Amino acid sequence: MNRRTLLGASVAASVAAALPQALRAANLGAAAPPIKLPADGKIRVAFMISSGANVIDLAGAWETFQDVMLPNGDMPFELFTISETTSIVEMTGGLRIEPSYSFGADDIPRANILVVGAQSDGSEAFMKILRDVQGKIDLTMSVCTGAFKLAKSGILDGKSATTHHDYYDQFAKAYPKVTLVRGERFVDNGSIITAGGLTSGISAALHVISRYYDAPTAAKTAAYMEFTPTPRTA
């Protein structure tokens, strides 16, 4: 039996009803447009990780993307990790993970999305990747204080962004060229999405799914995950 058939219709319907409001990102300009699917239908997502990377920042978005299943049974998102080297990375709480690829490796798949969560690395190599991929991929997405990495690289200059609420003031002081948006689950600038703390990455990933496909596809994914998005309060 297809695992999606295990979902109760009432559960999926209730999540679908909540999604339009919950997935309406804060946008200071025009609404974020749909994203054209790659020719082969595969959406490749690279997660940048380093020492101290927050587990839920990676796992929340990872789980969301991996759980997308289309009506024909295809699961279109292909996920991998990249780091300075392929040596074991110790994440928060002691979780140890072996990166799939190292920076600059010749065999790294061409990514459509780059995800950056909270972590320690702020090296020039890290920053260079963030700058170099702009205009070459569909989206760069940060979760939690991963927004600090994006801001440090300069790619958020002149744009709006959010981060974990405990770090609002620190972010605003450190990066005055970025317009900090408080109180939103995520902010979508079209090609750059910044999510708030921790589980906000799930909401942002669902929003990304809705841009590649539609809100019902995101709703089915959220229902499978038993995740009820938090609606905006304003």
Q: Where are the domains of the chain?
A: 3-224
Q: Check the CA dihedral 118-119-125-129 and report its sign.
A: negative
Q: Does domain 3-224 have CATH number 3.40.50.880?
A: yes
Residues 20, 82 contacting (CB under 8 angstroms): no
Residue 171's pLDDT is 98
pLDDT bucket at 32, cuts 50 / 70 / 90: confident
Residue-wise pLDDT for 84-105, tens only, equals 999 999 999 999 999 999 998 9
User: What's the whole-number mean pLDDT along residues 159-166?
Assistant: 97
pLDDT bucket at 9, cuts 50 / 70 / 90: very low
Query: Which whole-number Å values give the CA distances from 38 to 56, 59, 75, in the listed order?
Result: 28, 24, 14
